[in-house]
Amino acid sequence: MIDKVHGFVRRLDEIDQEGPPAPAVESAVAKAREAFDRALEDDLNTPEALAAVHELVNEGNRLLAEGALTREGAARVRSRLEAMDQVFAVLLPGEDRLSPEEQALFDARQEARRKREFQKADERRNELEEMGVILEDTPKGTRWRRKH
């Protein structure tokens, strides 16, 4: 579940659509806050609190897929996840960085892709994967994450 939340938070950071948050965003955030707070008030019912997090991520992913999340809406969802993370301290991805060797391979892969040298790009991807770095190519660019 944590990887799903981390991936969602990273995708929130990529949203570039302007405009106010959709009513569905406000509703999802309010519903999550209410469910989360109710669970904590119920003798720290952690499974129910985590279910509220999970539901917010699912609803956020649905809104993201529909194109209904603006930057402002994404900021509202992220803010709610940050508030929830004050309890769990694992929901938001850390400030992980690539090592110099990993960064060099990542850059070499990007350059190979730019030059349309796809076999070379695939080799760099495989090397990174052996080092525990998974690449995801998206329309907004290449994302990476650590293999667990």
pTM above 0.85, yes or no: no
The full set of domain ranges for the chain reads: 2-88, 100-146
CATH of domain 2-88: 1.20.120
Question: CA-to-CA distance for 93 and 63, rounded, in angstroms?
Answer: 21
Low-confidence residues of the chain, pLDDT below 50? Answer: none
The tens digit of pLDDT for each residue in 93-125 reads: 766 678 889 989 999 999 999 999 999 999 999
Q: What is the pLDDT of residue 94?
A: 67
Where residue 89 falls (left for φ over 0; alpha for ψ -120 to 50; beta otherwise) is left
Residues 6+ apart with CB under 8 A from 109: 120, 121, 124, 125, 128, 135, 142
Q: What is the pLDDT of residue 95?
A: 61
Q: What is the pLDDT of residue 10?
A: 85
Q: What is the pLDDT of residue 84?
A: 93
Q: What is the pLDDT of residue 42?
A: 93
Mean pLDDT of the chain: 91
